[in-house]
Amino acid sequence: MKKGPTIFPLAPAHLAGLGAFQTALVLAFIDIRLAALPLALFLLLCFAAPFFPRFSFYLPIVHRGSRDSRSVALTFDDGPDPAATPALLDLLAKHGVPAAFFITGQRASRHPDLVRMILSRGHAVCNHSYNHSPFLMLRGIGRLREEINRTQVLCARFGILPLAFRPPVGITNPRLWRALLEAGMFCVNFSRRGRDAGNRRIRHLSKKIVGRARPGDIILLHDSAPGGFDADRWLNEIESIITGLSDRDLGILPLDRLIGRPVMKRAGAASTASHATGSFYDGIALTYDRESSLSGNISRRKERELFESNFLPQIKPDQRVLEIGAGTGMFTLQIAGRCREITAFDISEGMLSVMRNKAEREGLTNIDYQAGDVEEFQPARPYDIVCSFSAFEYIPDLEGLLTKISRFMAPGGILYFTTSHRSFFRFFTQVGNALRQGIWLHARSEIYIRNALIFSGFTPKQVRTSVLKTCRSGGMLIESMAEKAVSAP
């Protein structure tokens, strides 16, 4: 069985290239010389885009937080450095200010005590490559992986797992997103900087930052000490930035709070952090319920309707239930109120944490929370019911997963799930997801689902589509219900 999601980093660059090519074809019928214009513009854009740290042309780039918070975040690159970092940490402690340190693996390996000091003071540590080569983005994906993963391995020795990566000089390339997805990371650049050339030009640094700072800014600074570095003058500038921001009624928040997603985890606390899907949903866990309620997604509304009318009546009070892809408990909590116990399984530890808080408020104590990859799940006892709601599209080999599920279900048990149906309208949501997550969601046909159920030892009871059905194809959503055969494999 093929494991893990299908990484598919579709970016605006791909759509721009397609548009340029199509425009060139049309113009070629008018004047062949005009056809070169859109292609030339596209190539110019491809060349220029990497040098704009806030331009999400090749991959999604987090470069600022919410403007509503009236706050900013301080980030320091290129350290740690014994000539700058310890004094900076004392200054930050004096003012009670948090920061995020984007360290280079090479410096961290030389000064491990400074990394431990940063962490002991409560600051975040993020990945800034290993060697900090300004020409890193000219290298192939193999070198990118090495620079990222080598620093990740080093950070694991300090008991942490960085989730945020900042490329050297903020420059990106078309290969970076795939490398980050494979590592379960995301790109964080900046929206405000003093152009200090790595602390080589610190004169009037505070004026450059404070006067231009806006709510939500991610501010780029450095804690490196180049030749001729004046530490006292630099510290005075940093302190002026801190006090100047306060005078302008701009608070300083930890980076993760400003952008609303974790930038670092404790290495032993998140076994799924290196999983592309798990990392993405960890990042949106705190806002997922609000986004879902505001999205007006017709597939989600229909799924809720089917859940209440067709699935809930199947549950008996003495049954054990497994929900795959439980998320924040949008369906789990109702199921828990009707069964003896339910295992809530999800790839995202963050999503399960949100669900746990909701369950505690409702007094539900019969939920077993399991984080990990369902393709590796080995339950101790069989389940009477297994269900899933819009999660199977992340599984490349659904037939293999259904076969595995049948092995830990009681004979006569019920399998119920909704998933994406292959259709004209669904294709556009698949493209949108690839642009947002870098993951291709698999849509299946009714015939495929029915045959996969039979092959896996289930007797299909119902396989049908709904949502935006057309005369030529089914809808966007498949609802499936099947029974575990007594003599299933």
397 catalytic? Reply is no
Q: Write the DSSP symbol of residue 337.
A: T
Measured CA to CA, the distance from residue 394 to residue 158 in angstroms comes to 32
Q: What DSSP string runs through 185-199?
A: -EEE--SEE---TTT
Out of 77, 78, 196, 217, the active site residue is: 77
Phi, psi of 267 (to 5 degrees): -60, -35
Nearest to 186 by CA among 167, 171, 165: 165
Asked whether the beta carbons of 256 and 262 are under 8 A apart, the reply is: yes
Answer positive or negative: Cα dihedral of 458, 462, 467, 469. Answer: positive
Measured CA to CA, the distance from residue 384 to residue 396 in angstroms comes to 25
Residues 70-80 as b/e (b if ≥16 CB within 10 A, e otherwise) read ebbbbbbbbbb
Out of 63, 123, 128, 222, the active site residue is: 222
State which amino acid sits at residue 468: L
282 catalytic? Reply is no
Asked whether the beta carbons of 382 and 321 are under 8 A apart, the reply is: no
Give the torsion through C-alpha atoms of 169, 277, 434, 60, to 10 deg.
Answer: -20
Asked whether the beta carbons of 261 and 282 are under 8 A apart, the reply is: yes
Residues identified as active-site: 77, 222
